[in-house]
Chain A
Amino acid sequence: MREPLISVRDLQVHFHTHAGVVHALNGVSFDLYPGEILGLVGETGCGKSVTGLALLGLIPPPGQVVGGEIRYRGQNILTLPPAQMRALRGGKIAMIFQDPAAALNPVFTVGEQMELVTRRHRRMGREAARRQAAEVLRSVGMPEPERILDTYPHELSGGMQQRVMIAMALSCGAEVLVADEPTTALDVTIQAQILDLLVDLKRTRGLSILLITHNLGVVAETCDRVAVLYAGFIVETGPTGAIFQSMKHPYTQGLLAAIPHPSSRGRPLQAVPGTVPDGLQLPPGCLFHPRCPFAWDRCRQERPVLREVADGHQVACHLYAGEAER
């Protein structure tokens, strides 16, 4: 059995606000293996980004990890001293964001920003850092890297800016890349280029990627495995092929049925009724039961746990509890 590179267990994050305690993550567990792309899917407010930020120890206040652990190569990074966490963040674990224009500093050139990372993390000299930066830029498919180093972010297109972000993330030898909606702000033709690059980096460098997205199409085309997040809880996880072939959780099924598809033309789409629960007041029992067409008494009282229904395919739903118990 392969050892996971990152292993998240029962992660709980609360935000203490004036209105009360917002339950952002309510027991998130998943593994990220070396050289795979794991898709973390869900709708607005389901906790995808908070999960990504937690991996880098970047939960913004008033957010707080109140339970669970995140293990990187067996070590719980939630208890690391700040200096060691800083070395890990941007070193072995790096992150890219939805809006590269907002993530890059507009007043420094691409080269200055990229060199800063390696000079900090790897104590490189200015010359070496610049050579290294040009090299990484080339490896992410940037033409004329030497010239790009002297440009400012606003001179680059959105796709190019995202390539710079990826290059910066890789420049210290990252093993894990947390990509938070990396193509959502980009046009489809550019999105295709960036997704291709991510798949390529996985193949050639053995990079492990946590791809956070709301787009099931992106998942189907790039991810090896998927985890579906609903109200800060993983409701279903498994290999991409298995998930798309036989989705088990009513929420996952609803999510896919809601997407317009060539075969849905001329017919109404199947919308998931209701709205995502408020993190201030989570429903008792299964978090999805108020919107679930199959809910019964047990769903209103008892929170289901993830159970294996097929090889590597786990579902948190009472509908499938019988199969596992029998």
Chain B
Amino acid sequence: MTEPLVQARQLTKHYVLRGGLFSRRQVVRALHWVDLTVYPGETFGVVGESGCGKTTLGRCLLRLVEPTFGEVLFRGENLLQLDRETLRQRRRYFQMLFQNPYLSLDPRMNVLNLVGEPLVTHTDLRGRALAERVAALLERVGLSADHLYRYPHEFSGGQLQRIAIARALALNPLFVVLDEPTSALDVSVQAQILNLLKELQAELGLTYLFISHDLSVVQHVSDRIAVMYLGRVVEVGTTEGIFYDARHPYTQALISSTPIPDPQARRSRVILQGSVPSPLNPPPGCSFHPRCAQALPLCATEEPRLVDVGDGHLVACHRAG
């Protein structure tokens, strides 16, 4: 078995809301006790609805936010115990691509500076050599050297995301967290970007953590998938395992709620009642039990743990296993 590239152990992020004069201090459990393992070369999908903690997970894995508790092992080394300088050196190996390139790229920097910035920080490349390296990166993502001295407002959303990809790949990272990389794009452009990401992965041997709310996109790109609900991972499995043999009632509902562009495929839908509870006051026991059609009395009191139901398919549900 290959060595894991990234491992999270009991990763937890709680945000404390300072109470006012008359209100109590409250805690938002954005991420709670998450364990997961990402292997080299794979695309690990993370799905869930808004507020489920998927973005917090991505950021904690790269230590862009400081987790409250737990460990992040990158090639066996705990990132959370590194000092500033060592962490800075390690950062070149893991990068992040954000959802909205209009916001993630500084509008006052030209393309050369945007893509060249990580190279200036981490390498000795300067001047002509730097420009040449940036031009090569631009060509690799489907742009050209003609774009070097242009500014973000001169580009379309799809082109901006290509620039952001060039910036993320400038230092030959090993691990890239893609946080909803195509959610701001139209489907025809989304297809171009997804194809580009796949090509680059094959060519450069990249490992992706692909965060999305769109199940069909995650199904298309991922080798394995984790489903999150209210800060917890409720199911992990291979893409086939999740889509054809989902065990958690939430995963089943999520899959059946996703509209499919084929009128012939109209299925019986499981429509969940109510909405996701606030992470401020998560329900006791299994956090999904108030919306679950199959809840047992046990579900209201005891929190289910992730258990292996065979072949590495993990489910956190009292009904499974």
Contact (A270, B259) CB under 8 Å given A188-B49, A189-B253: no
Chain B's interface: helix, strand, loop or mixed, by majority?
A: helix
Question: Contact flags (1/0) for A223-245 with B, using CB distance below 8 Å?
Answer: 00000000000000000110011
Contact with A along B220-241 (1 / 0, CB 8 A): 1100000000000000000100
Q: How far is the CB of B217 from chain A (nearest CB, A)?
A: 5
At the interface, yes or no: B275 with Cβ under 8 Å from chain A? yes
Contact among B49, B50, B220, B243 for A260, CB-based, below 8 A: B220
**Which of A218, A254, A260, A264 lies in contact with B259, CB distance below 8 A?**
A218
Distance between Cα atoms of A316 and B271 in the complex (Å)? 38
Do B258 and A188 have beta carbons less than 8 Å apart?
yes
**Contact residues in A for B189 (Cβ distance below 8 Å):** 271, 275
| Range, interface on chain A | 35 or more
> Are B194 and A221 in contact, CB atoms less than 8 angstroms apart?
no
> Is there an interface contact between A217 and B254, defined as CB atoms closer than 8 Å?
no
Report which of A44, A196, A218, A272 forms a contact with B191, defined as CB distance below 8 A: A272
Q: Convert B257-287 into 0s and 1s, putting 1 for each residue whose CB lies closer than 8 angstroms to a CB of A.
A: 1111111111001011001100000000000
Question: In the complex, which of the residues A158, A214, A217, A272 contacts B258, with contact meaning CB atoms closer than 8 Å?
Answer: A217
A188 to B48, CA, bound (A): 9
- Bound: A245/B265 CA distance, A: 12
Contact across chains for A221 and B259 when beta carbons are under 8 A apart: yes
Contact of A265 among B191, B220, B257, B276 (CB under 8 A): B220
B220's partner among A159, A269, A275 (CB-CB below 8 A) is A269
A220 touches B194 (CB 8 A): no
Interface size class of B (residues with CB under 8 A): 35 or more
Residue contact B158 to A275, C-beta cutoff 8 Å = yes
Q: Choose among B49, B188, B213, B263 the residue that contacts A220 (Cβ–Cβ < 8 A).
A: B263
Residue in A157, A240, A264, A269 whose Cβ sees the most chain B Cβ within 10 Å: A269
Partner of B49, one of A189, A261, A262, A272: A189
Q: Chain A, 156-199, contact with B by CB distance < 8 Å: what is the 0/1 string?
A: 01111000000000000000000000000001111111011000
Q: How many Å lie between the Cα of A260 and that of B86 in the bound state?
A: 40
Residue B68 lies at the interface, judged by CB distance under 8 Å to chain A: no
Partner of A244, one of B259, B261, B275: B261
B215 interfacial contact with A, CB 8 Å? yes
Main SS of chain A's interface residues? helix
Q: How far is the CB of A63 from chain B (nearest CB, A)?
A: 22
A188-B215, A260-B194 given; A217·B188 CB < 8 A: no
Contacts of A43 in B (CB 8 A): 186-188
The residue of chain A having its C-beta at the shortest distance from the C-beta of B239 within the complex is A265
Q: How far is the CB of B251 from chain A (nearest CB, A)?
A: 11
Please determine whether B216 and A187 come into contact, CB atoms closer than 8 angstroms: no
* B186 cross-chain contacts in A, Cβ below 8 A: 43-44, 214
User: Which single residue of chain B is at the shortest CB-CB distance from A187?
Assistant: B49
A61 contacts B by Cβ under 8 Å:
no
Q: Does A22 contact B (CB under 8 A)?
A: no
Q: Are A189 and B254 in contact (CB under 8 A)?
A: yes
- B198 at interface (Cβ–Cβ under 8 A)? yes
Could you say which of B217, B219, B259 has the most chain A C-beta atoms within 10 Å of its C-beta?
Answer: B259
Q: Are A275 and B156 in contact (CB under 8 A)?
A: yes
Q: Is the CB of B261 within 8 A of A260?
A: no
**Does A58 belong to the interface (CB within 8 Å)?**
no
Does A192 lie within 8 Å of B187, measured CB to CB? Answer: no
Residue B26 CB within 8 A of the other chain:
no
Whether A292 is near chain B, meaning CB under 8 Å from some CB there, is no
Please judge, given known A-B contacts A188-B254, A261-B216, whether A269 and B263 are in contact too, CB under 8 Å. Answer: no
Q: Does A258 contact B (CB under 8 A)?
A: yes
| A159-B194 contact, Cβ under 8 Å, with A44-B186, A275-B156 | no
Question: Which of B188, B254, B266, B275 neighbours the largest number of chain A CB atoms within 10 Å of its CB?
Answer: B188
**A256 in contact (CB, < 8 A):** yes
Contacts of B275 in A (CB 8 A): 157-160, 187, 189-190
How far, in angstroms, from A245 to B217 measured CA to CA in the complex?
Answer: 23
Residue pair B195, A269 in contact (C-beta under 8 Å): yes
| B37 located at the interface, meaning its Cβ lies under 8 Å from any Cβ of chain A in the complex | no
B192 at the A interface (CB under 8 A): yes
- A189 partner residues in chain B, CB cutoff 8 A: 49, 253-254, 257, 271-272, 275
Q: Report the bound CA distance from A260 to B220 in whole Å.
A: 6
* Interface residue B190 (Cβ < 8 Å from any Cβ of A): yes
Instruction: Point out the residues of chain B lying under 8 angstroms from A217, CB to CB.
Output: 216, 258-261
Q: CB-CB < 8 A to B216: which residues of A?
A: 217, 259-262
B270-309 to A contact mask, C-beta < 8 Å, 1/0: 0110011000000000000000000000000000000000
Give the nearest-CB partner of A193 in chain B: B271
Interface residue ranges, B against A (CB under 8 Å): 49-50, 156, 158, 186-192, 194-195, 198-199, 213, 215-217, 219-221, 239, 243, 253-254, 257-266, 269, 271-272, 275-276
8 additional A-B residue pairs with CB within 8 Å, beyond A160-B275, A192-B259, A275-B189: A192-B269, A220-B261, A220-B263, A244-B264, A260-B191, A260-B219, A265-B239, A269-B195
